[in-house]
Amino acid sequence: MNVSGHQFLEDVLRQLDEAAEILELDDSIREFLRAPKRTVILSIPVRMDDGSIKVFTGYRVQHNNARGPFKGGIRYHPSVDLDEVTALAILMTWKTAVVDIPFGGAKGGVKCNPKEMSRSELERLTRRYTAALFDVIGPHIDIPAPDVYTDEQIMAWIMDTYSQLKGEPTPEVVTGKPISVGGSECRKEATAYGVSVCVREAAREYGLELKGASIAIQGYGNVGFNAAKILHDWGAKIVAVSDSKGGIINRDGLNPLKVMEHKKRTGSVINYEDAENIANEELLTLDIDFLIPAAIEGQITGKNADKIRAKVIVEGANGPTTPEADRILQERDVKVVPDILANAGGVTVSYFEWVQNVQKFRWERDEILMRLDKRMVKSFKDTLEYSKRYETGMRMGALLLAVKRVAEAVESLGIWP
């Protein structure tokens, strides 16, 4: 992670203060929204494969549930700390509010290096962490999901541990599960689909033609690759893509599926036969219609923001733009569709997964994509409306929309007793 957890949390709280100022929120509501409702810090003893016991530190921060049960991913990473998890929990509250799903915001994390752990060590860690959280999670309390270095297998272990302790199968306690145990169709490409809808809607709003529009994508994983595939199908031209090893460019357009075949064969997109190699930094500053950062945070910074030539940035990744870069982009009138809107397709389909589990009924692919598309279009329009009403960029527009929705819910419920 590029920014420290502490700096990240400060930035998130400062943004909230700015939004509260613009919305003229009451000081007491602002204070309420700054503080997470519950923070759990755990010591998680795990028997390692060599027989030794290692104690890991785990967190679950439940920020706000005024609009519905807490919702948010679980991250396994060496850099996890309380400030980072808290900042991410607050951002989840805004994200669920922007797309108007009836959930609040939470985040969990365990400070560990999953790359150095065996599958059985990860299973024991996950089950012990879930058992320790048993009283504070649940289908109508707090519903975890995958995040960095946690996947559908880990979600299946969470579901199984919770169900064993509860004494009944409870798939709706967690989302992002394998389809065999109640996972939803389209969950894997949901974030990329939402990103693609934002590109389509931004093209409409800013007078660009999606057919033939030039697009560069940083990161060729779940979000980057699937967005390339969908946007290519919709007629856009994917001119450049990259991964952690470097990037490639072909001004006539790349074939996303062939690039993925090459990546699977060689381990990277670089040296693809039908393109030239470029540095990651160069990809970010290409003269194109859309730039989609879909890799890691802190990529567009004070150092390169004045060189960005894309007309619109659609943030697939979480936090790819630093606050300093954001100011520069706004001064230069580069349009930015912010992460809490652009990548909210994932949490939206997570919500659909939960609804299907609660109803004990499965929806088909077409129905899920139709509902996701509709919700992303509505959220895009709502955000745009707020950014116009308050004469700000879309990032602040999305935050204003979210904070207003959460503040209204808090005010309606009141403070008890």
CB of 153 to ligand NAD, least distance (A): 15
Residue nearest to ligand NAD (CB): 221
Q: What's the DSSP call for residue 186?
A: T
Piece of the chain touching ligand NAD by CB under 6 A; list 41-49, 78-86, 288-296, 400-408 = 288-296
Pairing of strands 335-337, 38-47: unpaired
3-state secondary structure of 214: strand
Starting at the edge strand found earlier in the chain, the sheet holding 142-146 runs: 38-47, 53-64, 105-111, 70-77, 142-146
Q: Judged by CB under 6 A, does residue 221 bind ligand NAD?
A: yes
Q: State which of residues 39, 163, 277, 280 lies at the interface with ligand NAD (CB under 6 A).
A: 280
Residues 314-343: x where in contact with ligand NAD by CB under 6 A, - otherwise, as a string: --xxx------------------------x
How many Å apart are CA 35 and CA 88, to the nearest integer? 13
CB of 312 to ligand NAD, least distance (A): 18
CB of 333 to ligand NAD, least distance (A): 25
Residues 296 and 316 sit within 8 Å (Cβ to Cβ): no
Q: State which of residues 16, 295, 341, 402 lies at the interface with ligand NAD (CB under 6 A).
A: 295
Residues 240 and 247 sit within 8 Å (Cβ to Cβ): yes
Residues 232 and 239 sit within 8 Å (Cβ to Cβ): no
Residues 67-106: x where in contact with ligand NAD by CB under 6 A, - otherwise, as a string: ----------------------------------------
CB of 256 to ligand NAD, least distance (A): 13
Q: How many CB atoms lie within 10 A of CB 167?
A: 7
Residue among 287, 254, 285 nearest 270 (CA):
254
Residues 285 and 308 sit within 8 Å (Cβ to Cβ): yes
Q: 412 is written with which tokens? A: 């309606």
Q: Give me the half-sphere count of Cα atoms (radius 13 Å) on the Cβ side of residue 245.
A: 12
Please list, in sequence order, all residues whose beta carbon lies within 8 angstroms of the beta carbon of residue 60, skipping any fewer than 6 positions away. Answer: 39, 40, 42, 85, 106, 107, 108, 133, 136, 137, 142
CB of 242 to ligand NAD, least distance (A): 5
Q: How many CB atoms lie within 10 A of CB 150?
A: 25
How many Å apart are CA 327 and CA 226, to the nearest integer? 30
Within residues 340-359, the interface with ligand NAD by CB under 6 A covers 343, 346
Piece of the chain touching ligand NAD by CB under 6 A; list 37-45, 74-82, 212-220, 388-396 = 212-220
CB of 25 to ligand NAD, least distance (A): 27
How many Å apart are CA 333 and CA 163, to the nearest integer? 51
Q: Judged by CB under 6 A, does residue 114 bind ligand NAD?
A: no
Q: Judged by CB under 6 A, does residue 301 bind ligand NAD?
A: no
Q: How many CB atoms lie within 10 A of CB 291?
A: 28
Q: State which of residues 129, 193, 220, 386 lies at the interface with ligand NAD (CB under 6 A).
A: 220
Piece of the chain touching ligand NAD by CB under 6 A; list 22-30, 60-68, 79-87, 237-245 = 237-245
CB of 183 to ligand NAD, least distance (A): 13
Starting at the edge strand found earlier in the chain, the sheet holding 214-218 runs: 276-278, 246-249, 237-243, 214-218, 290-293, 312-314, 335-337
Please list, in sequence order, all residues whose beta carbon lies within 8 angstroms of the beta carbon of residue 50, skipping any fewer than 6 positions away. Answer: none
Catalytic one of 71, 95, 107, 335: 107
Residue 404 appears among annotated catalytic residues: no
Piece of the chain touching ligand NAD by CB under 6 A; list 49-57, 86-94, 155-163, 289-297 = 289-297
Q: State which of residues 84, 152, 172, 243 lies at the interface with ligand NAD (CB under 6 A).
A: 243
CB of 127 to ligand NAD, least distance (A): 24
Piece of the chain touching ligand NAD by CB under 6 A; list 26-34, 50-58, 101-109, 312-320 = 312-320
Task: CB nearer to ligand NAD: give 127 or 144.
Answer: 144
Piece of the chain touching ligand NAD by CB under 6 A; list 2-10, 81-89, 126-134, 219-227 = 219-227
Task: CB nearer to ligand NAD: give 317 or 403.
Answer: 317
Name the residues that contact ligand NAD, by CB under 6 A.
191, 218-224, 242-244, 280, 294-296, 316-318, 343, 346
Residues acting as catalytic residues: 107
